[in-house]
Amino acid sequence: MDVLQRFLKYVKIDTPSNSENDAVWPSSKCQFNLANTLVAELKEMGVENAVVDENCYVYASLPANVENAGAAIGFIAHMDVVEAPKGYGVNPQVTKYSGGDIALLSGLKISPNDFPALNNYVGQDIVTSDGTTILGADDKAGVAEIMSLIKYLTDHPEIKHGKIGVAFTPDEEIGNGATMFNVERFGCDYAYTVDGEEIGEISYETFNGAAFIFNIKGVNIHPGVAKGKMINAIVLANEIISQFPATERPETTENREGYYFIMDVSGSVENAKVCGIVRDHDKSEFEKRKQFVNKVYNIMAEKYPNMVTLEVKDQYYNCAEVIKEHFHLVENAVAAMKAEGVTPIVMPIRGGTDGSGLSFKGLPCPNICTGGHNAHGLNEFISVQSMQKVVKILLNLVKAYAKN
């Protein structure tokens, strides 16, 4: 089974995490279906220590086959996909791309006019969904690439390597992928999350992230006699949202610019909720953004006593604080890509990965590409040839850490 066959198999296994159930591990039981599949495949490869734990984390390792090997290195990908726009019932299609638009079965088209990166893949094989769902390359491409690496190593015992750890995590898409990860059980000195996008991406900087929820209580009364009596929670929600700067949203920022993102608004006249996140690479700016959220709350609380409450929760921090002390991880990734003719693109992630939390748990963990594009959307696509190159890049990293 090659990397494409694995990928096509994995994306058809439903694994959306459930943001409404984030206090349960995992948030959706369907993730066990992929976890159990991966454990079975690993054991078929001869990796007898492969196991899935009660929280749906898959752990496995290959022992070193060379004396005085270098550091134990691990590779990590997440099994879950996003819930929306639709993360289940994926029906992948493969197109030999000769240029122009890619027509999906749903009637949707992926056009290089909208996504110029497509022009880089003329002559290659492009995998998409049928246009009714996401594809799930984030991060089932990473899962398939790591599994293909392990299969190659078990088929080629002549390749010398140190200890190689493998882990597949649940619930990364709802910010909990690293939460229950057992670093001691994983048993590696360093790791890479294989969870980036465009071929060549290397990221050792992430956002600092926090989530916030405004809970709003309203007062309902018949609209005919509502003057001076009704307090419409929906109107208060709109008032909260209007205080966030329009120039500091995801759709109006780029590169190292932070943002506020209102992700969900729900409710009625009597009760409403505004959910959002705060993101910034700079720790001091991150703290200022959280202070701004609290300022919005204070304004509302003064204007509408006892009608609004606020919850703010830190989610993860910029892993550059840890990885900069182990910069060989980045340097080796650069070398591994150049060896395959891939131009490294060292860039900060405008988001977070499992590697953010894992780095602060004592497992320095930068992120590298899978080859995918347009994650979390119906226009998601990935090149088969990019996936094949990523497998070779991972193999080069294995060889780099086999040296003492």
Tell me which residues are annotated as active site.
Answer: 80, 172
Q: How far is CA 60 from CA 10, 51, 53, 164, 167, in A?
A: 18, 7, 11, 9, 6
Per-residue CA distances from 116 to 100, 298, 402 (Å)? 10, 45, 39
- The angle subtended at Cα 137 by Cα 154 and Cα 258, nearest 5°, is 120
113/95 Cα distance (integer angstroms): 18
Round to whole Å and give the CA distance between 151 and 156. 9
What are residue 277's DSSP bridge partners? 211, 261
Coil vs helix vs strand at 41: helix
Q: Could you tell me which of 201, 204, 206, 293 has the C-alpha nearest to residue 243?
A: 293
Q: Do 371 and 390 meet the contact criterion of CB atoms below 8 Å apart?
A: yes
Q: Are 348 and 206 in contact (CB under 8 A)?
A: yes
Burial class (CB in 10 A: 0-12, 13-18, 19+), 359: buried
Across the beta sheet with 208-217, what order do the strands follow? 259-267, 271-280, 208-217, 308-316
